[in-house]
Structure 1
Amino acid sequence: MRTNTEPRASDGSGGLPGPGLARLLTLFSPAFPIGAFAWSHGLEAAIAEGRLADGPGVEAWIAFLLARGSGRTDLVLMAEAHRAARTGDAPRLGAVTALATALAGGAERRAETLALGAAFVEASRPWGEGLFEPGEAPAYPVAVGRLGAHLSLALPDTALGLAHGFAANLVSAALRLVPLAQSRSVVVLRNLEGPIEAAARFAARSTLDDLGSASLVSDIAALRHEALETRLFRS
């Protein structure tokens, strides 16, 4: 008697989520070679100044950036780039590309988003051959939005990937800087699931009118990092 040992799906989909999930996970995997581990987004300066010293503090910091700070800004810019690329609106895409660079607060924040964007463009060439011009290096959220549209990844899914990657990278930085125990870092990421999902949902329905930030302390920390004498990170 032959027994079928393969798991059965009750929804007729083979048990797998929608198309593109595996690709989405790859693009925002810590193993995707964009060098995000080298940037702390000002977190290093905030920790050096004693503003953050434990898991709850790091969690609140990241959650606020997603809701009211640079994380939200990046998500709104990504959504605009995704829509412009999906509809083939070149002037609109050019405008958001310039805006994303202009909105980077400080030299290191600008270097961060452009370096990540350039690395993302290069690393994603197997999926986006011919999408970007040689030497083109848009800000990171713009590059993500363009590739997401090119690959027909749904905007909410792309936003979720970007938001999770943003949060996970800062938790990884905090792991080394606070320092946080690995078990505590996992708790922080678990507690950030709600803010990450909320930020992604907001981004999916956002417009450029939703741009705005109230994270002045984080922005100032990013500026002060430029003068930090001892550092592990580039921002």
Structure 2
Amino acid sequence: MTTNELRRAPYAMTEAEAAALYRLLTWLSPSFPVGGFSYSSGIEWAVEAGDVSGADTLRHWLSAMLTDGAGFCDGVFLVHAHRALQLDDMRGLRDVAELAAAFVPSRERQLETTAQGRAFIEIAQAAWTCEGLAAAVAQCEAIVYPVAVGLVASAHGIPLSPTLHAFLHALTSNWISAGSRLIPLGQTDSQRVLAALEPAVAATAARALVATLDDLGSATFRADLASLRHETQYTRLFRS
């Protein structure tokens, strides 16, 4: 294939696709300043209690959180917020935002998701002009992190499926980052855990895309207890 033919290759991204990818990579990068590095979602208590002590136990803990806990529920909230804005359903958006804010199991998790949601909205609005986003945000009394991501992505015309997958990848990466500092875990082992969780991320995204709000539910009782007990943990590196 010649150089000119390569330049005209049909698999090249359009300008809109390139912009969408650029923004997703930026918004869900660890360097995007939403403060995710300061939260462990209860993993800090799980390490102190001995539930998580190495790469294997961290992988099992996070797999459960993804498929049967916060990962799946946050994915569903993101999906419904994204779709509500696409359909210009402001009543539906308000209901999703309200339910998502009430769904977290502890005070610290509430702080974690609302603080990150607020920061995500504010920074995205400050850096990118987007018609209609401010009006949509004004419809919601409180916006948690997954709703914020779904709302901003939808307002910018970024497709739902890659947004959801990128969000779950970022969520998992942040959990692993917390685990790597607490256990501690080396960089190579951390990446092995992330690679091993790839099927769980994909399966969770697939379920969340077709789930209704009635499908919401969690069975990760130990993780929920961890987020509650972290509030009174004597020594803490993280805010949750």
TM-score normalized by the length of structure 2: 0.90
Runs of 5+ in structure 1 lacking a partner? none
Q: Which runs of 4+ in 1 moved over 2 A?
A: 6-11, 13-18, 126-130, 132-137
Instruction: Give the counterpart of 1:167 among 172, 175, 181.
Output: 172
- 2:128 maps to which residue? 127
Instruction: Give the counterpart of 1:176 among 181, 185, 193.
Output: 181
The code of the aligned residue for 1:165 comes to A
- 2:39 maps to which residue? 39
5 Å-filtered alignment, 1:13-162, equals 13-14=11-12, 19=17, 20-125=20-125, 126-127=127-128, 129=130, 131-132=133-134, 133=137, 137-162=142-167
Shift in Å, 1:11: 4.8
1:15-36 C-alpha deviation (Å, 9 max, x unpaired): 6898122221111111111010
Runs of 5+ in structure 2 lacking a partner? none
Q: Distance in 1 between matches of 2:105 and 2:87?
A: 29
Q: Distance in 1 between matches of 2:12 and 2:216?
A: 40
TM-score normalized by the length of structure 1: 0.92
Shift in Å, 1:66: 1.0
CA contact (8 A) 1:127 1:151 kept: no
CA contact (8 A) 1:128 1:147 kept: no
1:119-176 C-alpha deviation (Å, 9 max, x unpaired): 1011211235461357975111111111111111111111101100110000000110
Name which of structure 1's ranges 7-16 and 28-37 shifts more when overlaid on structure 2.
7-16
- Report SS of the residue matched to 1:118: helix
More helix by percentage = 2
The code of the aligned residue for 1:204 comes to L
The alignment covers a number of residue pairs equal to: 232
RMSD in angstroms over aligned alpha carbons?
2.2
The code of the aligned residue for 2:66 comes to L
- 1:12 maps to which residue? 10
- Report SS of the residue matched to 1:226: helix
Q: Distance in 2 between matches of 1:17 and 1:77?
A: 29
CA contact (8 A) 1:8 1:15 kept: no
